[in-house]
Amino acid sequence: MNHKTEKYRLEIVNIKEISNKYPDKVTGVEQKGDKSILVLDTCKIVFGDKFKKNPSTKRINKQLRNNKANQ
């Protein structure tokens, strides 16, 4: 069986959104160095730290609350 490898680039995507939308397709998540890899039944999606991250206001506020609580 000959498998063809192709690369695609997505502008905005996150692991939680895909996991919630396609729970039957997600087979696992791996961490390799600075990359997170979402493993689906037909492909892998690699999340690297070199990609631009846009933190949400909600996430920033939660982190600030946690930081204050831990002091």
pLDDT in tens, 37-69: 889 999 988 887 665 555 567 766 776 677 666
Alpha helices in the chain (DSSP H): 15-21, 57-69
Domain of residue 65 covers: 15-69
The total number of structural domains that make up the chain: 1
Phi, psi of 3 (to 5 degrees): -95, 135
- Provide the whole-model pTM: 0.54
pLDDT in tens, 1-36: 677 777 777 677 788 888 888 889 999 888 888 788
- pLDDT recorded at residue 41: 92
Domain presence at residue 6: no
Q: Which of 56, 42, 43 is nearest to 12 (CA)?
A: 56
Domain presence at residue 23: yes
Note whether 20 and 27 are within 8 A (CB): no
Note whether 46 and 35 are within 8 A (CB): yes
Domain presence at residue 3: no
